[in-house]
Every structure is written in C-alpha cells, then in structure tokens.
Structure 1
C-alpha cells in the first residue's frame, strides 16, 4: 500500500502536466484557426469576386450578342424589299 501511495504524487504531476499541454494545444489550435480563417477570407473573397465579375461580364456580352442577333433578324425582316415576278 505504501508503494502505491508513493506513486500517486508522480501520477498527479503527470496528469497536471497533461492538462497544461491540452490547454496549450487548444490555444494553439484556436490561433491557427484564426490565421486560417483570415487567409481563406482574403483569398476566398478575391477568387469569388473575380469569378463573379468574369461571369457577369460574360453574361453581358452574351446578352448583347443575343440582342444583336434578335435585332438584326427583325431589321432584315422589315427592310427586305418585296420582289414581284
């Protein structure tokens, strides 16, 4: 029994040291997550912004081409001369 009682103090020290390490690891994880979030926000915002702007530009160009194609068809329809045999 004295032998087992003598082991309690070193085990308590090991346990308290492990708890300290867990606390340090949690703090390190929180800081890493903050840095990762900042990087993702900075790159993600730029990438999404660029992709959205590119998509809007392409939509405007295609819409313009579509409008031009529809407009030409209507203009040529009304401007074609009537030819009688």
Structure 2
C-alpha cells in the first residue's frame, strides 16, 4: 500500500491523501490508472494530473520501485490569470 498526496479539487473531494495498492514496480501511467480505478467518478480528473514522486515530476518513461519511493503526489492542472 502506498499513500498519495492530493491537491486542489482532488483534495477537496477525496481528502488530503488516499491509499492505493501499487505493484512492486510502476510508472506514472500505472499510478494514474490505479487511482482512477479506485475512484471511478473522478477518473477524468485523475487522468489529467501530473504525478510527482519524491517531489520531482515523473516523466512518462520513469519507472519506480515501490519500496524506494517515499512520497507520491497527484497534482491537477492549474491555470493562471
């Protein structure tokens, strides 16, 4: 099990953190897919999020080992004005 930090409207809707069962190794897409499967009503919003692992944005090609990861965050898109 791994705890994910949430921000913006995800945190307002689901709380500051969620706990998910991630595989032993995973990538950005798998994090989003597992989160979307756990919260299907928020799937569209989750799938547009950026993912930060240990306070660095995850690239689509990055692979992570669950036991080596300290923090995962889902960061919804933001707009400025």
Normalised-by-shorter TM-score class = under 0.3
More helix by share: 1
Q: Per residue, is there more strand in 1 or in 2?
A: 2
Larger relative contact order (CA 8 Å, sep ≥ 6): 2
TM-score (norm 1): 0.17
Whose radius of gyration is greater, 1 or 2?
1
TM-score for both structures, normalised by structure 2: 0.18
